Amino acid sequence: MDKSQASGKLIHSGDRRHVRRILAVSSGGGHWVELMRLIPAFEGHHTTFVTVDKAYQADVRGFDFYIVHDVTRWNKIRWLYTIVQLLKIVLMVRPHVVISTGALPGYFAVRIGKMFGCRTIWVDSLANVDELSMSGARIGKCADLWLTQWPHLAKPDGPEYAGQVI
Amino acid sequence: MIFVTVGAQMPFNRLIRAVDAWAGRTGRQDLFAQIGSGEYKPKHMKWTRFIKPGKFRQLFQDADAIVAHAGTGTILTALELGKPILVMPRRGDLQETRNDHQVATAKRFEEQGRVAVAYDEHSLILKLDELACLKPSNRIGTQASPELLERLRTFINSV
């Protein structure tokens, strides 16, 4: 992937008022690959990435980067640990915008962001063709911009369809 | 080299076993498999359980073809690098993943002519025989669609 344009930390305009702090959160695998494809939308802002494996840092050199414990719906006892990690990151970064491509850690991040008054974006994965992901279906009320990548899953009350990661 | 991968989340013995049997039958030596936590250990191909993301991409780069589960990350990576890819989707009823979302994903990409799909092991073996003829689909760029990027930009700038 050409990361030469991945310069989200650069402030292009001289007007700092328009620079937003973005917290971009995803799990590994496809969720991360999808998030990487959204990077051009963050240009001109200050983006901090959060994922579950430090090896992904190589994809986002030059950006702030944190990892949290990976969790799924199956290991509920560890949820709290991830939630505390995300809380710390949100308090430290103070993002204007929290965006996630899933899965559960991203869901928590969006909910925490909402609690702290951030504007929130959920981009449900391309993999969810027949129905939204479990997180994606439940995040509707907390996501200010709630997107599906499949037109047939869009509804008048959300989620909205606005294109795909490809 | 044929790179076989099932992702890091769950085992996919059905795929690994079928590809391994094919490797044994054809005597091909140039397969490398990432098998995750699956208990079936290949006998006819080199394998490893997990691969770090950077190395993962490098293996895609080096491969002539990819044989994989129908994970979005795997498919997108193959398309970004212009590699031919044959997928067998995981099935929900066999507890290979939580539901049939990989079947649906595979169908969509297949309709677009971007991936070859085998819906069961029998078909996988047949399609492996034809793998050398498999052409990569057009390389995709590294960015989301202009429409999606614009929607996100508009939202972020409105904050």
CATH number at residue A93: 3.40.50.2000
| Angstroms from A57 CA to nearest CA on chain B | 10
Q: pTM of the prediction?
A: 0.91
Residue B43 domain boundaries: 2-158
CATH number at residue B108: 3.40.50.2000
User: Does any domain span residue A2?
Assistant: no
Does pLDDT of A14 surpass 80? Answer: no
- Give the Cα separation of A131 and B103 in Å (integer): 13
User: Does any domain span residue A117?
Assistant: yes
Range 41-60 of A in CB contact (< 8 A) with B: 41-42, 45, 53, 55-56, 58-59
User: Does any domain span residue A166?
Assistant: no
Residue A140 domain boundaries: 16-161
User: Does any domain span residue A54?
Assistant: yes
pLDDT band of residue A5 (cuts 50, 70, 90) is very low
- Give the Cα separation of B107 and B119 in Å (integer): 10
Mean pLDDT over each residue of chain A, to the nearest integer: 90
User: Does any domain span residue A37?
Assistant: yes
pLDDT (mean) for A138-153: 96
pLDDT (mean) for A138-156: 96
**CA closest to B81 among chain A residues:** A1
Cβ atoms A55, B52 nearer than 8 A = yes
Q: What is the pLDDT of residue A7?
A: 44
ipTM of this complex prediction, to 2 decimal places: 0.93
Q: What is the pLDDT of residue A62?
A: 94
Does pLDDT of A12 surpass 60? Answer: no
Strand partners, B50: none
Residue A85 CB neighbours (<10 A): 18
Cβ atoms B104, A130 nearer than 8 A = yes
pLDDT band of residue A16 (cuts 50, 70, 90) is low
Cβ atoms A27, B68 nearer than 8 A = no
Q: Do B157 and A18 touch (CB under 8 A)?
A: yes
**CA closest to A145 among chain B residues:** B155
User: Does any domain span residue A11?
Assistant: no
- Give the Cα separation of A149 and A126 in Å (integer): 6
Strand partners, A49: A24, A65
* pLDDT tens string A108-134: 999 999 999 999 999 999 999 999 999
Structural domain count, chain B = 1
Q: Do B148 and A163 touch (CB under 8 A)?
A: yes
Q: Pairing between strand B65-68 and B46-48?
A: unpaired
Structural domain count, chain A = 1
